[in-house]
Amino acid sequence: MDGATLTLDLPLTESVAPNADSALVHRAASGDNAAFEQLYRSHVGRVHGVILRLLGMDRARAEELTQEAFVRAWQKLGSYRHESAFSTWLHRLGVNTALMELRGRRDEQAMDDEELQAAAGGEVPFCAGERADLERAVAGLPPRARAVLVLHDVEGWKHEEISVELGMAVGSSKAQLHRARGLLRRTLGGEA
């Protein structure tokens, strides 16, 4: 075994950077713009990525909201308690900024869970597709269904967390996920 070539694919922002982040956060909270710029450079990709997916790949709006998320982060630095990793706190703030757009949209909220189940069309199996196809299909989902799918299947959130952030019942979150997967399967031709 060639141990010299062994590499570990560690998520650096989660496992190595927290101490460095912590010092930068303290400096930024006391008004050091340069420290906050370093935090921005380290985390902008992750924050922008999740906002972009939640907005259905609307790049222009995603950039506006990413900007807004970092301004909000600057304003709220004083309330960050260092109980979780800064990257986690910031990621959640980014998600919340994107979800604020969705919360204002009432068009889908009238649907009850049974309607959502019917829209999904029964059991949903795995459907493979090219990444680009999959991205397009996810982007084409209704906003709330897309938000639940992205948060649950892509970001790994639990239904309990999603329901809190989206202001819906846990059952509704599950139903929205079921619906989203069904719609994706149809879009990608999984039923054929």
Partner 1 sequence: MNTEFQWRSEMRKLGGDVEPAHDLWPNIAAQIATRSTARNRLQVAFAIAATLIIAIGAGLAARRGNWQMPSADSNMASAPTAMDWAQPRDTKLAAAARDLDDASAQLQQALEQHPDAVFLVGLLNRANGQRMRLLRQTSYTGA
Binding site for partner 1 (CB under 8 A): 31, 33, 36-37, 40-41, 44-46, 48-49, 52-53, 59, 62-63, 66-67, 70-71, 74-75, 125-129, 131, 134-135, 138, 149-150, 153-156, 181
- Between residues 167 and 189, which has the closer beta carbon with respect to partner 1? 189
CB of residue 107 vs partner 1: minimum separation in angstroms? 25
Nearest approach, Cβ of residue 18 and partner 1 (Å):
17
Question: Which residue number, 104 or 156, has a Cβ lying nearer to partner 1?
Answer: 156
Asked whether the beta carbons of 166 and 99 are under 8 A apart, the reply is yes
Nearer to partner 1, 44 or 85 (CB): 44
**Minimum separation from the CB atom of position 149 to partner 1 (A):** 8
**Residue 44 vs 119, nearer CB to partner 1:** 44
Considering the complex, state which of residue 53 and residue 159 has its C-beta at the smaller distance from partner 1: 53
Q: State in angstroms the smallest separation of the CB of 148 from partner 1.
A: 12
Sequential DSSP letters for the chain: --GGG------HHHHTTHHHHHHHHHHHHTT-HHHHHHHHHHHHHHHHHHHHHHTTS-HHHHHHHHHHHHHHHHHHGGG--SSS-HHHHHHHHHHHHHHHHHHT--TTTT--HHHHHHHHTS--------HHHHHHHHHTS-HHHHHHHIIIIIS---HHHHHHHHT--HHHHHHHHHHHHHHHHHHTTTT-
d(CA 151, CA 121): 22
Cβ at position 175, least distance to partner 1 in Å: 17
